[in-house]
Structure 1
Amino acid sequence: MSKRILITGAGRRLGKVLAEHYLAQGWQVVAHYNSANELVAHPALTCLQANLADSEDIRQLALKLPALGNFAAVIHNASCFVPDAAASDLIAHHEMHQRVHVLAPAMITEALSSVWNPAASMVCISDIYADIPNQRFSAYCAAKAGLQNFALSMAQRLAGRVRVNVIQPGPIQFLPEHDEAYRKKVLSQSLIGEELGYGAIVRACDYLLQAEAVTGSVMRVDGGRFVANRYDQTFTS
């Protein structure tokens, strides 16, 4: 029987690429999505909708997971990225980021406590902002730091049952709204200086899911940006 993996935020962008990759590798994929789901139907694909900014939606998603069978892997990829200046309600702004990045992974991980395969693996997608925060995105940075700390705590708690690791992406894949000037500025602060694409994260996930001696680690997949000159926090886009 093929192995089962849960990927959150799998309806588009990186999550979609990850889901398609593991389907092609023969995995049973449980793909969570919020509103947009661009995945094509597949016999090995199960799609579950939930708004992870809503506590009740998280609870309902968590309740469904154990009935699907045992899990060999989880990738906590779901994310929200809203600048503080766009928030009309500071409490709601921070709660949204904390629910998506910390509460949802915690409740999902707890829900899977009795259905892990032997030698299972969990990967949490954090951000280089967890260690070098950007004042324009303080709620996001705080939540991603919380996710990272949660992951390392789970590496301790689940030791011997589940390996837990963190990936810190940097400027891997630009969005359509990023103009050429913005792209050049970001890449100028990377040691590699190239847009690496989602494949760089996919390969990092592949490694961590298979690396039986690696747990409690933080892997930076950022083109060397973390050790380059610190980024300019005055970007306009």
Structure 2
Amino acid sequence: MNKTILVTGASQRVGLELALQLAQAGYTVISASRTLMPTSPHPDILQFQADLTLEQDRLALIEYIASNHGGLRAIIHNASLWLDDSLENLNIMFKLHVEAPYHLNQALGQYLARPEKADIIHICDDTSSRGSKSHIAYAATKAALQNMVLSFAEKYAPNIRVNAILPGLLILKPDSTEDYRQQTLKKALLQFEPGAAPLIEAVFYLLEARYTTGNSIVINGGRHLKKGMSSE
């Protein structure tokens, strides 16, 4: 069974923790990120430098996989940017959140089709389905990423399962003030900072699930049940 998984945006924070957990579970992880770590954190994490907003970098990544790996067990689209609203930032996030996953799913489908079971997992966002008044462009591009799950699930069934994970707050930024931290935690029913664990658990579930495709797993601590809370 092929054990190679492509994870985008895996050089820091949640993506890095996910890559480490996958490597420790016996997978070979291709970590495709804009920046390389000085050394790989695990022998089975193979670093590939790529700015996925650029077509030429994506083509180089596709060629690398075609030349060095006989197939793929999964693609996990984790690369993400959370930028303020502007036309320029909308275009950047569209390229990363929509164009890049679309391109890679299309180009690498033949390599995913080789194992008996393969997975494509889109890491979207809790705002994908509810919007965000303060980050309209981010929410819109993540919503497009979530919608593509439906089309690719139908296109690649039955051997390739395609699903989404919609996380809410996982890890606050290091420079967050205590006031911001408390206000943010209060938006959920489960008022604590969970770290990367919920997303990693969801990924491992989907890698094992055999009757799930075209679906979204929401891990937001019950934010959708908080009455009277406006979108971010």
Same fold (TM over 0.5): yes
Give the aligned partner of residue 154 of structure 2.
156
| CA spacing shift, 1:12–1:230, aligned 2, 3 Å | farther
| CA spacing shift, 1:149–1:38, aligned 2, 3 Å | farther
**3-state SS of the aligned residue for 2:48?**
strand
**3-state SS of the aligned residue for 1:154?**
helix
Which residue identity does 1:5 align to in structure 2? I
Within a 5 Å distance, the mapping from 1:121-140 to structure 2 comes to 121-140=119-138
Give the aligned partner of residue 75 of structure 1.
76
Task: Work out the CA distance in 1 between the residues paired with 2:36 and 2:194.
Answer: 24
Q: Gapped runs of 5+ residues in structure 2? A: none
**3-state SS of the aligned residue for 1:174?**
coil
**3-state SS of the aligned residue for 2:92?**
helix
Q: Gapped runs of 5+ residues in structure 1? A: none
Q: CA deviation at 1:40?
A: 2.6
| CA spacing shift, 1:2–1:54, aligned 2, 3 Å | closer
The answer to whether residue 129 in structure 2 is matched with residue 98 in structure 1 is: no
Q: CA deviation at 1:225?
A: 0.8
Which residue identity does 2:70 align to in structure 1? G
Task: Work out the CA distance in 1 between the residues paired with 2:118 and 2:70.
Answer: 13
TM-score, length basis structure 1: 0.90
Which string of whole-angstrom CA distances, capped at 9 and with x for unpartnered residues, describes residues 84-127 of structure 1?
1xx4xx2x322211110011111111221211122111111000
Which string of whole-angstrom CA distances, capped at 9 and with x for unpartnered residues, describes residues 5-35 of structure 1?
1100001111100110011011111111112
Given candidates 110, 124, 131, the residue that maps to 1:114 is 110
Aligned residues: 229
Q: CA deviation at 1:147?
A: 0.4
Task: Work out the CA distance in 1 between the residues paired with 2:75 and 2:52.
Answer: 16
Task: Work out the CA distance in 2 between the residues paired with 1:214 and 1:230.
Answer: 33
CA RMSD of aligned residues (A): 1.7
TM-score, length basis structure 2: 0.92
| CA spacing shift, 1:38–1:195, aligned 2, 3 Å | farther
Q: CA deviation at 1:145?
A: 0.4
Given candidates 147, 165, 171, the residue that maps to 2:163 is 165
Give the aligned partner of residue 215 of structure 1.
213
Task: Work out the CA distance in 1 between the residues paired with 2:49 and 2:229.
Answer: 35
The answer (yes or no) to whether the contact 1:2–1:26 under 8 Å persists in 2 is no
Task: Work out the CA distance in 1 between the residues paired with 2:75 and 2:38.
Answer: 20
The answer (yes or no) to whether the contact 2:17–2:196 under 8 Å persists in 1 is yes
Which string of whole-angstrom CA distances, capped at 9 and with x for unpartnered residues, describes residues 129-183 of structure 1?
1111112211111110010011121111111120111100001111102111111
Give the aligned partner of residue 178 of structure 1.
176
| Sequence identity (%) | 32
| CA spacing shift, 1:127–1:39, aligned 2, 3 Å | farther
Within a 5 Å distance, the mapping from 1:4-43 to structure 2 comes to 4-37=4-37, 40-43=40-43
